[in-house]
């Protein structure tokens, strides 16, 4: 029997290099980035034009993604920057070349 494996994503958005940060989770990162880039979600990300995907992690279980999100939201800003820059030192938009965007 084939087991259907869902994926969940913790992601960090910004508006520019060393700019405002937003941490969220989703089960469809491409759809969520389309929504952010087209300002379809009212609130913080729309207000500050947070539409650059600068970091993400993948999880098999939604509870793990939620736990990581809650934990990371308590982090100091510099810890988040260190995490981002370890993987993406130039804060490049990781979703820039996705065909759906």
The domain made up of 8-87 is a member of CATH 3.40.1440.10: yes
**Domain extents for the chain?**
8-87
- Separation CA 56–CA 34 (nearest Å): 15
Distance in angstroms (rounded) separating the CA atoms of residues 32 and 53: 10
For residue 99, what pLDDT is reported? 84
∠ at Cα 69 (55, 93), nearest 5°? 15
**60's tokens:** 């098999």
| Residues of the chain with confidence (pLDDT) below 50 | 1-3
Written as six digits, the tokens of 6 are 């869902």
Q: Cα–Cα distance between 52 and 101 in angstroms, integer? A: 12
Instruction: Count other C-beta atoms under 10 Å from residue 51's C-beta.
Output: 21
């Amino acid at each position: 029997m084939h087991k259907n494996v869902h994926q969940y994503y913790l992601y960090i958005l910004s508006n520019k290099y060393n700019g405002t940060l937003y941490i969220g989770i989703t089960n469809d990162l491409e759809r969520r980035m389309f929504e952010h880039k087209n300002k379809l979600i009212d609130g913080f990300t729309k207000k500050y034009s947070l539409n650059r995907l600068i970091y993400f992690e993948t999880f098999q279980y939604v509870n793990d993604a939620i736990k990581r999100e809650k934990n990371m939201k308590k982090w100091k800003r510099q810890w988040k920057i260190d995490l981002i820059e370890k993987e993406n030192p130039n804060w490049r938009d990781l979703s820039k070349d996705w065909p759906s965007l």
